[in-house]
Amino acid sequence: MPSSSSLDYLFDIRDNALLAQQWTVGYTYETFQENQQLVYAVIRCLEIISEATRRLPRELRDRHPELPWRAIMDSGNFYRHRYDNVAEDYLWRTVQRSLHPLLAVVESEIAALAP
């Protein structure tokens, strides 16, 4: 039986990925980068995703070698410690391209682990 915290972390990843995606609907890259409040909100979502990913059991991550787990886990450090170098285009690409595959894996794990 999986620990409830594994499910909690999966839900945190899912919820924050969905928020980042929902909040950017209707934006172009240009309008996104001009909205500093939205940029900060997306950074926070990605920080939470990074931290929750770190807390997932290694066995769970090992079941999905197609995802760049190390990069996902390390991204939070970049957002926190290199805050002055976070480029809006990197955030935009992450939300537009990288969250979809992560969400698919997270949803499948939730379905398999949820009671």
Domain ranges of the chain: 4-113
**pLDDT mean across residues, the chain:** 90
Alpha carbons 43 and 56: distance in angstroms, whole number:
20
**Residues 29, 89 contacting (CB under 8 angstroms):** yes
Outline where the chain has alpha helix (H): 4-24, 29-34, 36-55, 58-62, 69-81, 88-93, 99-113
Distance (Å) of CA 76 to CA 44, 49, 84, 88, 108: 9, 8, 14, 15, 24
SS3 call for 86: coil
Give 14's pLDDT tier (boundaries 50, 70, 90).
very high
Which pLDDT does position 81 carry in this prediction?
A: 57
Which pLDDT does position 46 carry in this prediction?
A: 95
Give 59's pLDDT tier (boundaries 50, 70, 90).
very high
Which pLDDT does position 32 carry in this prediction?
A: 94
78: pLDDT strictly greater than 90: no
The predicted model gives 89-96 an average pLDDT of 91
